[in-house]
Chains A and B, each alone.
Chain A
Amino acid sequence: MPPRNPAVVAGKAIAVGVILLWSLFPIGFMLMSSLKPGQEIFAVPPRLVFEPTLQHYGALWEKWAVFFRGLGNSFIVTLGATLLTVIASTMAGFVYSRERGRALEASALFLIVVRLLPPIVLTLPLFTIANMLAINDTHLVLILLYATFFVSLGTLLMRTFIDYIPRELDEAAMVDGASRLTILWRVIRPLSKQGMLALAVFVIVYAWNEFLFAFVFTSTRAKTAPLVISEMLGSFDGVDWGVLFAASSVQLLPILIFVIFMQKHLVAGLTGGAIKG
């Protein structure tokens, strides 16, 4: 081991401090401001010590029922999109992991190529089509969109995870006369839980926070929480920052706690298991 150079240690400490400030200050500032009474939000310099109050949360509850309906919509859409993505990706990933062939290789590449299409480009025809099918402003349209835009990555991810499951297990089951569906359910599903969890974390974070599709495809009935917050931000009679910070905090906290809790799976999914988070 090289001797510990105090200058190096100090340099590292400063770097870590800057990184922490950069990552956490905006989040901490928002959470803290949501608890500050009345005009103290605007105090210069911002006060670190204050008497916390839930008045902004109370105002949010009273004046913005639509926000809480938005949270409900976000929850439904996130749940639906996650289930659909995980099921479709596991099924396809299973085949791509176990079967070989030029047609299969081409179809896997196809799944990736189409992902190069920017989502905003597809809003044009999809808006018209969704109108014709009368599914605009429904949970279903967002569930289908979110699942579609994650199914390519999901399939690749599940293939990678299923590749780690020994083929001998499938073959033994096949000898016993099990069908592919039985093998997927009895052998692959229990052993690929890690992959499914990692994929679920990605989809949940994406669907809970997504803005563009919600903005274009929902207006009243299926409006998600981020969309409601964006409307509060753009309100004409002045922005009520206290209430806005409260709403943003309510939208952020569950997903932030979830991400911290699921950090291990998130990191494993992003890095193919190279880092133990």
Chain B
Amino acid sequence: MPAAVRGAGARLSRLGATLPFLAPAQLLVLTVIVLPALHIIWLSLSTSTFGKAPVFVGLANYIHVFGDTYFWRALANTIIIVLVVVHVELLLGLGMALLFASGLPARRLLLAAVLAPYAVSEVSAAVIWRFLFDPDAGPVTMALHALGLPGFEWSVDPAHGLAIVALLSIWLHLPFTFLIIYAARLAVPEELYEAARIDGASKLQSFRRVTLPLLMPAILLAALFRYIFVFRLFSEVWLMTQGGPARSTDVVAVYLYLEAFRFNAFGTAAATGWIMVMISMILGAGYLWGLRREMRAHAA
């Protein structure tokens, strides 16, 4: 059928014409992410240290990681931090979005102030935190003592260590979470609130029946984003506690780093890496599913 052949030919030439435009982005991703990721599968199935030829060992690295209490500790810490950080961020972000939407003077200036932590590097933030919360002389510790409260003993108590890391992470990333929810709140048409008011709905009712359902997609999106990104948390922990004392505040990314670059165990590090990838994929599956639907809609 000549028409079909012509169609296929046109499609092919079109592909040829568009390929050079896609090449830079796709080549970067292919060489820096995809091929190395495949290489990790091979690494995870072999023993290897830096500079030595790898030897195939099957699933031994995975068995080693799953039998390592440090790994389970790191995974438990990561899950705790993810749950605390993401949910506190969502609550605070939602509260701030509602506050901003209720009408504030000098809104632009306030927005600039709220966004400021976005510009701060993890390193500078850790510098400030380490000083403010210093267990002996930090101003925040002193203020807490002055109020008769206990300070954060984060250099000796793992629970306090995790709390300080979570606080730092929330401070750095709240602007992002807030903005996503705030944008969704501004997209809610004012008429809906008018209508709710005319129907005699109370403030609480209009929040539960109008605001919350309409904000849900944005909240879920922010939640997924943050689940995925907090799960790979490294810098905040490394800069605050280095996983100490005695590896009690390790998170999975720190565990991986120590295996690879301190103990030179590339095999177990790679296995840990693939375990991280799998968990990320599971976390991301919901996001991707939604994105695919959106792309279908876009393509239609």
Contacts and interface: CB of A to CB of B under 8 A. Distances in A.
Given A118-B277, A233-B127, A29 B132 contact: yes
A116 B29 contact: no
B119 A99 contact: no
Contacts of A147: 28
Contacts, number: 268
A95 interface: yes
Chain B, interface SS category: helix
Contact of B232 (A42, A91, A118): A118
Which residue among A91, A92, A100, A121 has the maximum number of chain B CB atoms within 10 Å of its CB?
Answer: A121
A211 B180 contact: no
B26 interface: yes
A138 interface: no
B125 A26 contact: yes
A23 B142 contact: no
Given A12-B99, A120-B253, A124-B269, A209 B122 contact: yes
Interface string A179-209: 0100010000000000000000000010011
Interface string B105-125: 000101111111111111111
A95 B21 contact: yes
A226 interface: yes
Contacts of A121: 37, 40, 256, 273-274, 276-277
Interface stretch (A53-61, A164-172, A251-259): A251-259
A211 B32 contact: no
Interface residues of B, number: 91
Given A12-B104, A211-B239, A148 B291 contact: no
B60 interface: no
B154 interface: no
Interface of A: 12, 15-16, 19-20, 22-24, 26-27, 29-30, 33, 42, 44-46, 84, 87-89, 91-92, 94-95, 99-101, 103-105, 107-114, 116-129, 144-145, 147-148, 151-152, 154-155, 180, 184, 205, 208-212, 215-216, 226-227, 229-230, 233, 241, 244-245, 248, 251-252, 255-256, 258-260, 263, 266-267, 270-272, 274-275, 277
Interface of B: 11, 14-15, 17-18, 21-22, 24-26, 28-29, 32-34, 36-37, 39-40, 43, 50, 95-96, 99, 102, 104, 108, 110-132, 137, 139, 142-143, 171, 176, 179-180, 182-184, 186-187, 228, 231-232, 234-235, 238-239, 253, 256-257, 260-261, 266, 269-270, 273-274, 276-277, 280-281, 284, 288, 291-292, 295-296, 299
Given A26-B125, A92-B22, 6 more contacts: A20-B113, A84-B24, A107-B26, A117-B280, A125-B36, A211-B121
Which 5 pairs of residues, A with B, have the shortest CB-CB distance?
A209-B121, A271-B183, A121-B273, A88-B24, A118-B232
21 contacts: A22-B171, A88-B25, A108-B295, A114-B37, A116-B277, A116-B280, A118-B232, A118-B277, A119-B232, A121-B273, A122-B37, A129-B36, A151-B29, A180-B17, A205-B118, A208-B121, A209-B121, A252-B120, A252-B121, A256-B119, A270-B179
